[in-house]
Chain A
Amino acid sequence: MEQQPTNIWIWSAIAVLWLLPLLSFVIGLVLWRKRKSGLGKFSTSLLAVSTLLSWLIFGINFGVPESLLSLSWWKVGTTEFSFSLALSGITQLLLVIVNTVSLLVHVYSLEYMKDDPGKNRYFACLGLFTFSMLGIVLSDSLLLIFCFWELVGTSSYFLIGFWYKKESAALASFKAFLVNRVGDLGFLIGICLIYAIFRTLSISELQTMVDAVQWKGEVFNFERNGELITSSPFMFTVISICLLGGAVGKSAQFPLQVWLPDAMEGPTPVSALIHAATMVAAGIYFVARVFFLFTPPALFIVAFIGAITAVMGAVAAISQYDIKKVLAFSTISQLGFMVLALGVGGREEGLFHLATHAAFKAGLFLAAGSIIHAMHRFAHETHAHFDAQDMRLMGGIKKYMPTTFLVFLLLALAISGIPMFSGFLSKDAIITKAFSWASAEGGVRWLVPILALFSAFLTAFYMSRLVMLVFFGSNKTPGLGEKSGLTENGKLITIPLMVLAGGSLWIWFNWNPFGQGSWLMDLVATGRSTISGLYLETTNEIPHKTIAIISILASLTGVGLGYVMYDEDEHQTIAELEETTTKPGFWSELSFNNWYLNELYDQTVVYSFNQLTKASSWADRRVIDPLINLTGVLMVVASVVVGWFDKKVVDGLVLLTVRITEFFGNIARSFQGGAVQKYIAWSLFFTLLVVTWILIK
């Protein structure tokens, strides 16, 4: 594959746009405790430069093939681990998305976080996040991606727990990090397995090997540094599933999606940036980067994980009353949609949805934040205490906040998949792809497009419910008087909203509002070989028109149903709200409690984890330590025995010797008593003895 010669200007620009957010982080760290400083504005202007540069690169480098920049980093033994970056269509697209959303969120936060005492820390963390996210996007090495992957997780941890004095926020950040770690184990194992087989972690080198792979019916043959190595498809399936683990954690897919709803404890602009538009989409981006390693069985699993997540998230979103929770579950569902797209082989379709979703979901979160901000301000002015995120206390807001309403409406239409908006184009592309995938192989695969359609219908339904509850009907905010009421936010908040709403129109992606796909999909396509491409798969294109009509119908039904069901006003007092969290009934409780996943994990995983902790601690205190002490005691006992032996036996023997000697000594002494007669008698006796002995002999 031909590669572009390294363009020094482009790469310098990339270095600058990448390091500016890091600079913002470092300066933020230094100024962290300073109450008054213009750090927010400074960080925002740095981000503005970054954004400008990324758009410039997008424009200048458009359609240019992939180019690499590889610097030597460290080596162990003979293996070189290089610091390698790649610039291709997909990178350019993500650079633009990440920087733009980050810039808008920075601008928005200038107003939103104006009065927070920790705002310097806030902007510093945003800088760290943006830097790490750009790192994921730019890296060509799996190792580098993993490093930045963990760093975005860490900045997400800091931002979820930004209001650390709140117990729930601290707990949510802990949970998010831990659940992500579980997924990352898969990622890490995948990296190690790849390294064990290929001795390299560079994605472009891996791609080159896959390009030249020989499929021998049962095994793959690769060339590694002139050496031929063999690997089985099963190994590749294992590797792809492991790598998928990372994406399942970060992108909140089934069964690890439980952390994302809790992550809403963070400030709302953070939810927009990290937990909607960029970080959670990193999983999809990552799978798209290593898509060429996935085998058909692995992709089958990917498709089902995506489909299950899409439906589970959508169902859970239906009965939430916290406006951010609805959006959080909606994000889970949409991410599931993207994963589903990857699974059915629609790598480009998934990335397309990632791009459109980034705009409309960031917009939805920021618009929700605009409402929450207004509710807070109102509560502050009227000295009232209520939950500023509870939709049952909203209602009729379109009258008070017309700009936010208009923006929200456009974005809601976009996510619901109504034509003339970006969401329709990308969703329709995915559903079409899913239908052709299912019709090619048939069987259980038909479930995937059906679940996709169903979740598209649910999406339209819960968004319509949300819009009805929040913007229509009468206002139920406590303390609302004749003259006082919610007020629209300033320009720093509304302008980012309008930009994102504008970005959700169809025109940027395809001139035809009912068209098929987008030019973006050509931009991110690589045109290189994939493992799954080695298998002969029958393709069966289902006419796009039919699918488009079905999916429009599904969306419209959802919107209509939501409109009809939530048109009437339910007025409740705060006391009533506290009593009833949800409507009784199996399905609505299941939905409200997110399928009882948290409870399930508490009872199984967390429980066994705690039991193991107790068991280990018990073993240490009650088994190993007593054994050691026993050894000590035995040694003391042994020394007592030895002591006794020494005293009684050895000493006794010595004493015995002494006594015997004494006895004989006494006898001998008695020879020399000084009595002459005794001398003579003894002399005679011994002389006789000697004589007798001689005679006998």
Chain B
Amino acid sequence: MMNYLLSLIIWTPVAGALIVLLMKDRQATAIRWISLGAVLLQLAGSSILLFQFYQSPESSGSYSIESFQFVEKADWITMDLGSWGVLSIDYLLGVDGLSVPLLWMSTLILVIGMISSWSITKQEKGYFALYLLLSSSIIGCFVALDFFLFYIFFEFMLLPMYFLIGIWGGIRREYASIKFFLYTLVGSVLILVAMIGLYISVSDPTEILADGRLVRTFNLLHMSDPANFIAGSILDPSYLKEWGGVSIRSLAFLFLFVGFIIKLPAVPFHTWLPDAHVEAPTPVSVVLAGILLKIGGYGLLRTAYPIFPEAALDYSWWVGFLGVIAIIYGGFNAMAQSDLKKLIAYSSVSHMGFVLLGIAAGTTEGYAGAVFQMVSHGFISAALFLIAGVLYDRTHDRMIENYSGLAEKMPYFTAVTVFFFFASLGLPGLSGFIGELLVFLGAFQSSSINGQVPQWMAVLATFGLVLSAAYYLWTLQRMFYGRLALREVAWKDMLTELTNREWLMFIPLIFIVLLLGIFPHFLLDLMNGSINQLKELVFENGNTIIQSLNSEGS
């Protein structure tokens, strides 16, 4: 069973979705329990994976298929293209220290989102089937090691998401879902172009046909080795073809980069996020903020950086700059919001800026910080959207100015809110702090180690800490402190304390945020090996390519 653990984790929800589809519309309760069962199985599977992986997280040697665990490989599509060689697409799965934390975080958030979905009372059958499909494709993204397979999962996420927002969303749901769809579609097209370019440039070194023809592959690990590029192909690193003054490899990197930062999202490609969040039902927001944004960061680290290391090093100034802009600009926008959910959405933009800055810094601390920040933000942002959902469920209103003095009425809810606000503003002892600290340590160090990111950017980024403190504490002061005053008198009875179901969602999140804040080594030990490997790969290959080009040029 262990050999197929990853497949089991991916496909369990699909099986659940099939069962759900076979049921009748009125069996809503059964549909709910079956769906919950499916995601719980997924969580169980990923927990087994986590514990197994934890036994030996250190991977030795270079970045290759050997550094992955739970690898599954099967031929999927093989097609003879005559003189072009053979097209080969594999069903290739595997996890390393980069994907395991994100994978486990996702399965937990999916369970929490499922519990939150209990309040959905419209067309349950469709909703839960789509949710389960989404669960599958998300996990597929984190474990696929074949670019084509990854892309299929990546694209497939769009579909359920589009309907989940477009059917079960708020008043402007059509606008939001179309905006979301178009944005991410543009990103997907860019990724597709880069992927096709890679496909015609990379061959599989392990399989060469008897007649000397090449086997063309989508294997991400083969793509990450510059030696596997076919000499003279358009993305051949040993001889850079140019197109309008820009090398095609840089262009391909930019395509991947933009494709993924739309998902992250980074300024200026972020405006789909607030709209999508505001219109999405609470559980969809939870999944969107908790997991989907992380696929952007994960995609950068899994594809763009290892495949085009020299372009990554080349553009790191801009990557860092975009990160800093996101931190500051997102923070100021969060300040300006009057809708609680929009505020949290913009704070997500701001916090994901740290991911870009960390990646740009290119030090171990920076990479580790970026991944840590993604995992921690997954938990924290999920909780923040649940908090907005708690209010919305009771009054159907999320406007900050319509509430005041909630602490008096809902003390426990206030305590939970204070906890997660402080977690998000980076209070030491809670997980948010560690990610940001590591990013700062990495960014400040960068100029003296590799010269990727100047120190003034890091200094500017620290200002994000003041901003996050400002918008969260201001919100606390306006909504929770002061005298109890609500827009409508009737709300006074509606605003009841947290229910048991809501506690069930918050308690695991509180526990994990505390655990990772006080004992960050649980997460860092998991990813240390892989992060180091990845960093070495990017810098070794990147510098080699740059040097070889320079020596050719001179």
Q: Is the CB of A76 within 8 A of B405?
A: no
User: Given A76-B368, A616-B332, 11 other A-B contacts at CB below 8 A?
Assistant: A75-B521, A76-B438, A147-B428, A164-B407, A167-B481, A174-B477, A177-B469, A185-B463, A189-B462, A196-B441, A617-B336
Binding site for B on A (CB under 8 A): 32-33, 73-79, 143, 146-148, 150-151, 154, 157, 161, 164-167, 169-171, 173-174, 177-178, 181-182, 184-185, 188-189, 192-193, 195-197, 609, 612-617, 619-620, 624-625, 627-628, 632, 635
Chain A residues, Cβ within 8 Å of B65: none
CA distance A33 to B428 in the complex (A): 26
For residue B520, CB closer than 8 A to chain A, the reply is yes
Contacts of A615 in B (CB 8 A): 332
| B411 within 8 A of partner (CB) | yes
List B residues 423-438 near A (Cβ within 8 Å). Answer: 427-429, 433, 437-438
Residues of B within 8 Å of A613, CB to CB, are: 332-333, 335-336
Whether B462 lies near A188 (C-beta < 8 A) is yes
- Write out the residue numbers on chain B whose beta carbons fall within 8 Å of the beta carbon of A609: 470
Mark B356-377 against chain A: 1 for CB-CB distance below 8 A, else 0: 0000000111001000000000
Q: Which of B368, B459, B476 contacts A189 (CB 8 A)?
A: B459
Residue from B329, B429, B433, B438 in contact with A616 in the complex, judged by beta carbons closer than 8 Å: B329
Neighbouring A residues of B440 by C-beta, 8 Å: 188, 192
Contacts of B524 in A (CB 8 A): 74-76
Interface residues of B in 470-496 (CB under 8 A from A): 470, 473-474, 476-477, 480-483
Q: Are A612 and B332 in contact (CB under 8 A)?
A: yes
Q: Are B441 and A192 in contact (CB under 8 A)?
A: yes
Q: Contact between B333 and A617 (Cβ–Cβ < 8 Å)?
A: yes
Instruction: Scan residues 168-224 of chain B and give those whose CB is less than 8 A from a CB of chain A.
Output: 179, 182-183
Q: A193-B444, A196-B448, A624-B271 are in contact. Are A165 and B482 (CB under 8 A)?
A: yes
Identify which of residues 272-327 in chain B touch chain A, using a CB-to-CB cut-off of 8 Å: 272
Q: Which residues of B contact A173 (CB under 8 A)?
A: 477
Q: Is the CB of A174 within 8 A of B520?
A: no
Ordered by A's residue number, 14 sampled pairs between the chains whose C-beta atoms are within 8 Å are A73-B521, A77-B363, A148-B428, A151-B427, A154-B427, A157-B473, A166-B482, A189-B459, A195-B444, A197-B448, A613-B335, A616-B332, A617-B337, A625-B271
A77–B368 contact, CB under 8 A? yes
Q: How far is the CB of B312 from chain A (nearest CB, A)?
A: 19
Contacts of B407 in A (CB 8 A): 164-165
**Complex CA–CA separation, A146 to B521 (angstroms):** 19
B118 CB-CB contact with A under 8 Å: no
**CB-defined interface of B247-274 with A at 8 Å, one 1/0 digit per residue?**
0000000000000000000011011100
**Do B445 and A74 touch across chains, with their CB atoms under 8 A apart?**
no
B458 within 8 A of A: yes
Across the interface, which residues of B come within 8 angstroms of A625, CB to CB? 271
Does B422 sit at the interface, judged by CB under 8 A? yes
Which residues of B are found within 8 Å of A32, using beta-carbon distances?
415
- A409: shortest Cβ distance to chain B, in Å? 39
Give complex CA distance A558, B208 in Å: 95
Q: Are B519 and A181 in contact (CB under 8 A)?
A: no
> B429 to A151, Cβ gap below 8 A?
yes
Q: Is the CB of B465 within 8 A of A185?
A: yes
Cβ A195 vs Cβ B271 within 8 A? no
A161: nearest chain-B partner, CB-CB: B481
Please tell me if the beta carbons of B427 and A178 are within 8 angstroms of each other in the complex.
no
Contact in complex: B481, A165 (CB < 8 Å): yes
Contacts A177-B473, A624-B271 given; indicate if A182 touches B482 (C-beta within 8 A).
no
Complex Cα–Cα for A628 and B408 (A): 43
Q: Which chain A positions have C-beta within 8 A of B415?
A: 32
- Alpha-carbon separation in the docked complex, A143 to B179 (Å): 43
Partner pick for B465 among A169, A170, A181, A616, CB 8 A cutoff: A181
Complex Cα–Cα for A500 and B329 (A)? 50
Q: In the complex the two chains form, what is the Cα distance from A628 to B179 in whole Å?
A: 9
Q: Are B458 and A192 neighbours in the complex by a CB distance under 8 Å?
A: yes
A632 and B458 in contact (CB under 8 A), knowing A75-B521, A192-B444, A625-B271? no
Interface bits B401-429 vs A (CB < 8 Å: 1, else 0):
00001011001100100000010000111
Mark B residues whose CB is within 8 Å of A: 179, 182-183, 267-268, 270-272, 329, 332-333, 335-337, 363-365, 368, 405, 407-408, 411-412, 415, 422, 427-429, 433, 437-438, 440-441, 443-445, 447-448, 458-459, 462-463, 465-466, 469-470, 473-474, 476-477, 480-483, 519-521, 524-525, 528, 531-532
Contacts of B335 on A, CB cut-off 8 Å?
Answer: 613, 616-617
In the complex the two chains form, is B466's CB within 8 Å of A74's CB? no
**Chain A residues within 8 Å of B525, by CB:** 74
A-B contact count (CB 8 A): 142
Residue in A147, A165, A171 whose beta carbon sits within 8 Å of that of B429 in the complex: A147
Q: What's the Cα separation between A359 and B394 when bound, in Å?
A: 51
Q: Residue on B with the closest CB to A73?
A: B521
B368, A616: Cβ atoms under 8 Å?
A: no
CA A302 to CA B193, docked complex, whole Å = 58
Chain A residue numbers with a CB within 8 Å of B412 are 33
Q: What is the CA–CA distance of A182 and B445 in the complex, to the nearest angstrom? A: 22
Q: Are B482 and A170 in contact (CB under 8 A)?
A: yes
Are the C-beta atoms of B441 and A195 separated by less than 8 Å? Answer: yes
CA distance A174 to B481 in the complex (A): 11
Give Cα A73 to B518, complex, Å. Answer: 9
Nearest chain-B residue to A169 (Cβ)?
Answer: B481
State A295–B336 Cα separation when bound (angstroms): 42
Partner pick for B477 among A143, A171, A614, A624, CB 8 A cutoff: A171
- Set of chain B residues within 8 Å of A74, measured between Cβ atoms: 519-521, 524-525
A651–B409 Cα distance when bound, in Å, is 68
CB contacts (< 8 Å) of B476 on chain A: these are 174
Which listed residue (A189, A616, A620) contacts B444, Cβ 8 A?
A189
Give the residues in chain A near B482, CB-CB below 8 Å.
Answer: 164-167, 170
Min C-beta distance of B288 to chain A, whole Å: 18
Measured in the bound complex, the distance between the Cα atoms of B525 and A75 in whole Å is 8
Residue of A nearest to B368 (CB): A76
B268 is contacted by which of A76, A195, A617, A624 (Cβ under 8 Å)?
A624
Find the residue from B179, B415, B469, B483 having the highest chain A CB count within 10 A.
B469
A196 engages B445 (CB within 8 Å): yes
The smallest C-beta distance from A235 to any residue of chain B, in angstroms, reads: 11
Contacts of A627 in B (CB 8 A): 268
With A170-B477, A170-B481 as given contacts, are A617 and B332 in contact (CB-CB < 8 Å)?
Answer: yes
| B470 contact set on A, CB distance < 8 A | 178, 609
- In Å, the complex CA distance between A174 and B329 comes to 22
Contact A185 B462 (CB under 8 A): yes
Q: Which residues of B contact A193 (CB under 8 A)?
A: 444
Q: Taking the nearest CB of chain A, how far is it from the CB of B300, in angstroms?
A: 19
CB of A620 within 8 A of CB of B365, answer no
Asked if B364 contacts A76 (CB within 8 A), the reply is: yes
Q: Lowest 4 A-B CB distances belong to which pairs?
A: A77-B364, A617-B336, A147-B428, A170-B481
CB distance from B272 to the nearest CB of A (A): 8
Q: Compute how far the CA of A165 lies from the CA of B445 in the bound complex, rounded to whole angstroms.
A: 45
Contact, CB under 8 Å: B428 / A146? yes
User: What residues of A have a CB within 8 angstroms of the CB of B336 in the complex?
Assistant: 613-614, 616-617
